[in-house]
């Protein structure tokens, strides 16, 4: 169950005109915190992200399920059901308490490295590497468009500081 503050932050992102994936990022961030604090673990960063996205869809973030061919049919169906539940097109099924407990116990047996900086960085690099340069550039332009003047100015200052630090 996501916290009220996470849901509030996601709603604020959506009302600011940001993409559903940005709003869903709040849920992913919360999931990483759960893993870091030891509430449960995850087998991989990918699994941790998937849990966060599923919670986002169920909470009403209009994040479309992945297209055909991008993931397995089972993953796509699970995402579709979560999406429809969040959009109010489907009644949420009363979960089996036994199944919920077993899922929780299985996650508790997993490690915490999935939320480490190192594995998240590797996941991000891999995900970016699978995209085209044009696609990454378009996403950056889209992000800049919703930042606002102050946001763009702050981002530019951060970028300049990073360049100064790395190029020495």
Average pLDDT for residues 2-16, to the nearest whole number?
Answer: 95
Say if residue 10's pLDDT is above 90.
Answer: yes
Quick one: which of 117, 118, 113 has its CA closest to 43?
113
Domain ranges in the chain are: 4-130, 133-168
Question: Can you tell me which residue has the tokens 């996650």?
Answer: 107
Beta bridge partners of 71: 68
Q: What is the number of other CB atoms lying within 10 angstroms of the CB of residue 79?
A: 19
pTM here is 0.83
C-alpha to C-alpha distance for 28 and 51, rounded to whole angstroms: 7
Say if residue 54's pLDDT is above 90.
Answer: yes
Average pLDDT for residues 17-42, to the nearest whole number?
Answer: 95
Give 65's contacts (C-beta < 8 A, 6+ positions apart): 57, 76, 79, 80, 82, 83
In the prediction, which pLDDT does 93 show?
Answer: 84
């Amino acid at each position: 169950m996501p916290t009220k503050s996470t849901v509030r932050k996601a709603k604020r992102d959506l009302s600011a005109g940001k993409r559903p994936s940005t709003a869903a990022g709040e849920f992913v961030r919360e999931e990483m915190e759960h893993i870091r604090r030891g509430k449960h673990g995850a087998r991989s960063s990918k699994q941790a992200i998937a849990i966060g996205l599923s919670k986002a869809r169920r909470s009403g973030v209009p994040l479309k399920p992945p297209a055909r061919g991008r993931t397995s049919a089972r993953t796509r169906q699970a995402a579709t059901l979560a999406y429809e539940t969040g959009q109010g097109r489907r009644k949420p099924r009363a979960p089996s308490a036994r199944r919920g407990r077993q899922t929780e116990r299985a996650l508790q047996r997993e490690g915490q490295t999935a939320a480490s900086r190192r594995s998240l960085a590797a996941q991000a690099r891999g995900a970016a590497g699978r995209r085209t340069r044009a696609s990454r550039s378009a996403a950056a332009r889209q992000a800049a468009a919703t930042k606002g003047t102050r946001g763009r100015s702050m981002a530019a200052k951060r970028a300049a500081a990073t360049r100064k630090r790395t190029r020495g």
